[in-house]
Amino acid sequence: MCKWFSSRTVFSMLLLNTVVSTCALVAVLVFSLQRVADEHPRRYLAKTLFSNLVMNKTPAQLASMTVDGIQLEVIPQSKMYAPEYQSYQPLLAMTLSDPDGIAITANDDQYMAAAYSNGNFVVLPLFGRSLSSQALGLLGWVAAAIILILLVNFYSIHLLTRPFIELRRGVRHADKGDLKYRIPLERTYGEYHTLADSFNKMLHRINHIHEARRHMLLAIPHEVRTPLARLKVRKDLITDEPLRLAILGDIVNVERILDAILYTEKTQAGEGEIRLRKIDLASFFNEIVAEQQNGKSPIEIVINTTATTFYSHPTMMVVLMRNLIGNAVFYGKSNPVTVTVDDKKGGLHINVTDRGIGIAEDQLPFLTEPFWRADQSRQRESGGYGLGLYICKTIVDGLHGKLVIESTEGQGTSVLIAFPNAFESTHSKEDEDAN
């Protein structure tokens, strides 16, 4: 019962309460109106029978009279149990037990009445309007009243619960990352207005923090490029050719990461456009996997697609795959790592799976936040700062893909990336020529 109640909306519960209370009220009204309707002919007959029929006339006179074409019957008390009066016996018994000596009861769809005076029963076998016509009229009014009440309650409940709808819409926008959305305060009232105003202010502060962090990330590449340029010059002073090439490779890797940050952040801000190129599928993934082999964690690549090429941004894809495979190798603790590439539902799907330490379930929603570490002690161990998965997420978003992380603590982690349009030729002729 509690589970059912908790799954209902406030609007539906208020509406259900209104329906139940309205039906209960109508039932009471119908019962009361029936009693009132029955009481009116009873009093009418009491006055008529006592004043005009019983008290002023003899039994012979009463027996010869009619009311609305129905002849009165005079029954001596000694014959009340006679077979011919069997249908009257409940009515006659009610008459004897009534303080006024008068009784009334239903007779099919009308009424019949009786009065007791001087040892005789005076019976009016049939009178009044048809019960069916009365019932139909009453039901018509009741139905109209119910419809009107429900319409009024529906409109009023909708107005009362509209702030909940606005608050829920605001929460959904915030959950999707739209921190610029604001709840329309003119659609709220009372305590809801205060709550919505506080919610808007909270979103404003969070958005300010988010923008400040994004600007900081954009500033990092600009600040780092100057010392990188100096390193490029100074590396040429090194006479050891292998060492010089290793340093050059590191510099190029850092530049690629900085380019990826700039590309994705500017694209999210609407300041730039990511230009896609045709990439050889098998060659690209095989080279990335071979580059990440360290001799400790074997990396297996499985390609389940007949496609030979796909469209993406080469630099971003390199940074993306290096980060994902590097994380899987590091946290896999020398266990095998699997990279699967397939074309499910017509799109490019990449799955990087390790069998390492895993991640706690309550940490999963925050893994793609910049500078977030599921375990702060890992920062000292790995030298990282929690930017890897954030960069991966921004790259995937910039390429109009989807990133999903599934993990079980102690069993391993799986990162699934889907690019629905990776096999579609949406790049420009200039990109194709450049490729």
Residue where a domain terminates, one of 273, 307, 326: 273
pTM: 0.50
- Domain extent, residue 311, equals 274-434
Q: Does the residue 339 lie in any domain?
A: yes
The answer on 278 and 219 residing in a single domain is no
**Per-residue exposure over 168-202, b if at least 16 CB sit within 10 Å of its own CB, e if not:** eebeebbeeeebeebbeeeebeeebeeebeebbee
Question: Exposure string (b/e) for 391-407, b if CB count within 10 Å is 16 or more?
Answer: bbbbbbbbbebebebeb
Measure the CA–CA gap between 111 and 109, rounded to whole angstroms. 7
CATH code for position 339: 3.30.565.10
Asked if residue 170 belongs to a domain, the reply is no
Does 143 fall in a domain? no
The mean-pLDDT minimum among 1-10, 127-136, 165-174, 366-375 falls in 1-10
**98 shares its domain with 193:** no
Asked whether residue 320 is assigned to any structural domain, the reply reads yes
**Per mean pLDDT, which of 111-120, 154-163, 368-377 is the most reliable?**
111-120
Which of 133, 167, 191 is the last residue before a domain boundary?
133
Whether pLDDT at 96 is above 80: yes
- Nearest-10 Cα torsion for 429, 430, 431, 435: 100
Cα(144)–Cα(133) distance, integer angstroms: 17
256 and 227, same structural domain? yes
Final residue before a domain boundary, out of 133, 148, 170: 133
Tokens of 354: 């390790």
Give dist(CA 219, CA 212) in Å, integer: 10
Q: What is the CATH number of the domain that holds 230?
A: 1.10.287.130
Residues 129 and 259 both lie in one domain: no
Q: Are residues 63 and 13 in the same domain?
A: yes
Give the count of domains, the chain.
3
* Chain segment 407-418, per-residue pLDDT in tens: 888 888 999 999
Residue carrying structure tokens 């799955």: 351
pLDDT digits (tens, 9 = 90+) for 256-314: 767 766 666 666 665 556 778 899 999 999 999 988 887 777 899 999 988 899 999 88
- Same domain for 188 and 325, yes or no, is no
Average pLDDT over residues 375-401: 67
412-419 sheet: strands from edge to edge: 299-304, 337-342, 348-354, 412-419, 402-408
**Residues 333, 379: one domain?**
yes
Q: Are residues 115 and 17 in the same domain?
A: yes
Residue 349 included in any domain: yes
| 414 falls within a domain | yes
Domain-located, residue 226:
yes
* Whether residue 113 sits in one domain with residue 32: yes
* Tens of pLDDT, residues 44-83: 665 566 556 666 678 888 888 888 888 888 899 888 889 8
Residues 185 and 266 in one domain: yes
Same domain? 124 vs 252: no
Tell whether 11 and 124 lie within a shared domain.
yes
